[in-house]
Amino acid sequence: MKKFSILLIASALIASCTQQNISIVTTTEQHAWLVEKEIQVIDTEAKADVIIDRSKTDQTMEGFGGCFNELGWEAITSLTETDQETIFNEFFTPEVGANFTICRMPVGANDFSLDWYSYNEFEGDFAMDNFSIDNDLNTLIPYIHEAQKHNPNLKVWASPWSPPSWMKWNKHYACASSPESVAEQYRNNLAFEKQGAEGTNMFIQEPAYFNAYALYFKKFVEAYEQQNINIEMVMPQNEWNSCQNFPSCTWTAKGLAEFIGKYLGPTMDEIGVELMLGTMERPSLAMADTILNDPDAAKFIAGVGFQWAGKGAIPGVHKKYPLLKLYQTEQECGNGKNDWKHCLHSWDLMKHYISNGASSYLYWNIALKEGGISRWGWSQNSLITVNKEDKTFRYNHEYYLLKHVSHFVKPGAKLLKTGGAFSNLLAFENPDLSIVLVVQNENAEPKKIILNVDDKNISISLKANSFSSVVIKSVKLSRRTDPERS
């Protein structure tokens, strides 16, 4: 009789983990965030398409987010206070929407600022007596404060697009002149002979300038701390190999290694701010190697950030330096159309970066007005688009794609390696031991797949041309007396 009672209890536990412990949310081009109601759990000997083994894990996830840009703040604040509250609640309040936990910000102006500025344009002020973040008091600081209201534990990290212009040999914020195709209002007026080039140092390679720039970073961190914003990590230069017509500054690997190893690294270490190498936008392991193997620089570098063509370097860095923290720092930004085609590309990017060791994944523009045009004339995508005429907004396809991961995958989750013939997915185990699968069916017809989790087969149907998030809480998770989990 006692044995029969135990079997009844075990059967009840197995029954309880069917419908209520498996949830599926799906997005197609036509319909976003559909909560699936009919989910079939089967016990079959059929061959599984996806095999989940909890023992096969890779990196621990830190989180997901975007970048605080001035043009994003301008777009959001053109809406009603009610709509603004809706947006910040959706992006930042835990367990509500996107669950953003880590975001990036610029140090001074970037390509999506309202205009050029730095925190000190007084030439020769090596002591930084005129340093000021006054520009940010009306834009970036309230933007971050509003996000913090909804998530007080939000992590913020920063990188410059350009140092103060007087620290560069061409005395200009840009590296390249604006192309003739750019409209007059977007041009930078940089003379042709003042242009720089990839593979050269635009930053003046002298100790006085290095010291002043390290102090500039320190004063930035301390000034933001006075605004109750903790800058937890910095990267020394956005896209340090790219000569752009917007704020930019090229460095050689040798020059950047010297700045990190002898100046910025010790200064950030002194104030307890983490430093990562980045952002890497070239597919070159050798460029990273030059800095990561520099004896002075390497001891201060906690990780590497990658974006754009840097996706070609992340597999090699992850393999060669498995203990280094790796970030995807800026998703490729599209062309302002925010269409489904680019959403599909974004999924390929997400799979690539996360499968190759990225523990944080960051979108670029959180919000932009219709057209997504930057101060320097470049149209880009955003998670939400604000209509300038009627002051309404909409969530774009890429928002829902990102939410399919960020809403369910919690900080501390482990990336899981999967087996089986079906591989168009990402799999994670959360700290609460739930399994999260984000799956794409790229076909024009619905597709059924069988998942094997904890030795139990789960059959699910994927809508045509869709993304789905599958959250599984297995029998073992319900049985707190299971000796394997107790």
* Domain residue limits, the chain: 21-59+415-478, 62-408
The tens digit of pLDDT for each residue in 13-36 reads 333 334 448 999 999 999 999 998
Distance from the first to the final alpha carbon of the chain: 27
**Contact present, 177 and 192 (Cβ < 8 Å):** yes
CB atoms near residue 285 (< 10 Å): 19
Task: Report the alpha-carbon distance of residue 200 to residue 22 in Å, rounded.
Answer: 55
Q: Scanning the structure block, which residue is given the tokens 């930084």?
A: 128
Q: Scanning the structure block, which residue is given the tokens 């989750």?
A: 413
Which regions of the chain are under pLDDT 50?
A: 1-20, 475-486
Confirm whether 21-59+415-478 and 62-408 share one CATH topology.
no
Which CB contacts under 8 angstroms, 24+ apart, belong to 33-39? 33/400, 33/403, 34/463, 36/468, 39/458, 39/460
Task: Report the alpha-carbon distance of residue 143 to residue 145 in Å, rounded.
Answer: 6
The arrangement of strands across the sheet holding 414-419 comes to: 34-35, 22-28, 466-472, 435-441, 425-429, 414-419, 50-60, 447-453, 456-462, 40-41
- Name the CATH topology of 62-408: TIM Barrel (3.20.20)
DSSP assignment, residue 68? -
Kindly state the tokens that stand for 468: 């789905």
pLDDT value of position 474: 64
Q: Which CATH superfamily is domain 21-59+415-478 in?
A: Golgi alpha-mannosidase II (2.60.40.1180)
